[in-house]
Amino acid sequence: MILGIDASTALEVEQKNPHYFYKGKEVEPFSFLHDHNGVTSIRIRLWVDPYDEEGHPYGGGTNDFPAFVKLAKMAMSKGYDILLDFHYSDFWCDPSKQTLPKAWRGLSLQELGKKVYDYTKKTLLDAKKEGIAISSIQIGNEITNGMLWPFGRLDYDPKKPVRDNYDALAFLLKQGLQASREVLPKAKLLLHLERSGDVRLHQEFFDEMEKRNVDFDVIGLSYYPYWHGTFQMFFKNVDNLRTRYGKPLWVVEAGYGFTMEPFILNGNGGANLISKDFFAKQTNAYLTFPLTQEGQKDFIATLLKESAKHGISAIYYWEPFWLPLPGLEWASIYGERYINETGKPTNNEWANQCLFDYSGNATLGLDAFKK
């Protein structure tokens, strides 16, 4: 099984002079996870233009192409291969938002398809010129409800057995997939969904992809049990996907908390995404283990063990190094404006999901995430 990480915020974290420790000894985290844990792949997200019209960065890694090149070269020097995660947006994409890049507004569907093809091809050609060896490519991020809204959005109609607009979504996906095949024919191409405990939804999506001859290699999943369900729900879906479609399955995002205590003790305002307040408000959230260091360790160990039994061939832990240092934000106010999520705290909302605690000490979960 491939073990990987998504550490796309690493360059912004590095600017804050972080320190990481394992059993009291300071370590360089990329080298340590590679050498100690057997982690060999890094997933890096790519945003088209993560700055506003006046040049203010959106935060959360501000993952434009120059940042991708710098991070990829650093990771390659430490023995990692590269999974490039195209968001086809200027900022975060997930099932609740798939925002058109600013420069792509006002296009028709056909023009947008050409833009996806041209952008994908140019990006990959430029990466080759920089000496970046990309081994796998993800076309869209958590596209459970489509991408590049409104053009590629999947819409529910209670009168119909499946969602509307798969033709447009398949058209857009094919542009990115074709460009990737042309530039890097040996790279593995992924389609990535979440809601990974939902058998019916995944079967609908990939049945519709097959009907339209969408050419890809790997089914990518997110698995955060809070939102996606128990291990039983998750692996029921995994088993169905594996037997029905015969493609490799990768968990390209996974994570679990090691504490529910906020890192900002006064005026927290939701500094931690997965916290006591979260579970008080999210009555349908699943909690497979306690949100403690032992609970994180048990979640990771169980995920690796059961994934091997069920034929999953890669697992990527999401943002293991994203410490809650001053100025590190999931979004700046400018990023919030772009995705229309103003008024939320801009703190790092993921610090209690890392593989290092708030002080940079390795959690018990770090040793569990190991070959």
Tokens of 345: 């705290």
Task: Report CA-CA distances (Å) from 239 to 204, 234, 251, 273, 357.
Answer: 15, 9, 13, 30, 34
Q: What is the C-alpha to C-alpha distance for residues 369 and 38, in angstroms, rounded to an integer? A: 9
Q: Report the pLDDT averaged over residues 114-143.
A: 98
pLDDT at 73 over 70: yes
> Does the predicted TM-score (pTM) go above 0.75?
yes
pLDDT of residue 279: 64
Q: Are strands 20-22 and 25-27 parallel, antiparallel or unpaired?
A: antiparallel
pLDDT of residue 277: 66
Residue 260: CATH number of its domain: 3.20.20.80
Active site residue 142: yes
Q: What is the dihedral of CA 362, 320, 5, 191, to 10 degrees?
A: 150
pLDDT of residue 349: 83
Tens-place pLDDT, residues 12-60: 999 999 999 999 999 999 999 999 999 999 999 999 999 999 999 999 9
pLDDT at 281 over 90: no
Side chain identity, residue 306: E
User: Which residue range(s) make up the domain with 363?
Assistant: 2-368
Tens-place pLDDT, residues 190-237: 999 999 999 999 999 999 999 999 999 999 999 999 899 999 999 999
pLDDT band at 274 (very low <50, low <70, confident <90, very high): low
pLDDT of residue 191: 98
pLDDT band at 271 (very low <50, low <70, confident <90, very high): low
pLDDT of residue 348: 85
Q: Where are the alpha helices (DSSP H) in the chain?
A: 10-14, 29-32, 65-77, 109-129, 166-183, 199-211, 225-228, 231-245, 276-281, 293-309, 333-338, 364-368
Hey, how many other C-beta atoms are within 10 angstroms of the C-beta on 177?
Answer: 23
pLDDT of residue 263: 80
The structure tokens 């801009």 sit at: 346
pLDDT of residue 287: 80
Q: What is the C-alpha to C-alpha distance for residues 110 and 95, in angstroms, rounded to an integer? A: 23
Options 12, 194, 253, 336, the catalytic residue: 253
Active site residue 204: no
DSSP 316-356: EEE-TT----TT-BS--HHHHHHTT-TTS--B-TTGGGSSB
pLDDT at 264 over 80: no
pLDDT at 270 over 70: no
Q: How many domains does the chain have?
A: 1
Long-range contacts (CB closer than 8 Å, 24 or more residues apart) made by 262-267: 263/324, 263/351, 263/352, 263/358, 264/324, 264/347
Tens-place pLDDT, residues 283-305: 677 888 988 999 999 999 999 99
In this structure, what are the phi and psi dihedrals at residue 173, rounded to the nearest 5 degrees?
Answer: -60, -40
pLDDT of residue 282: 65
pLDDT at 176 over 90: yes
Q: Are strands 41-46 and 25-27 parallel, antiparallel or unpaired?
A: unpaired
Q: Report the pLDDT averaged over residues 304-316.
A: 98
Options 12, 142, 194, 349, the catalytic residue: 142
Q: Report the pLDDT averaged over residues 302-323.
A: 98
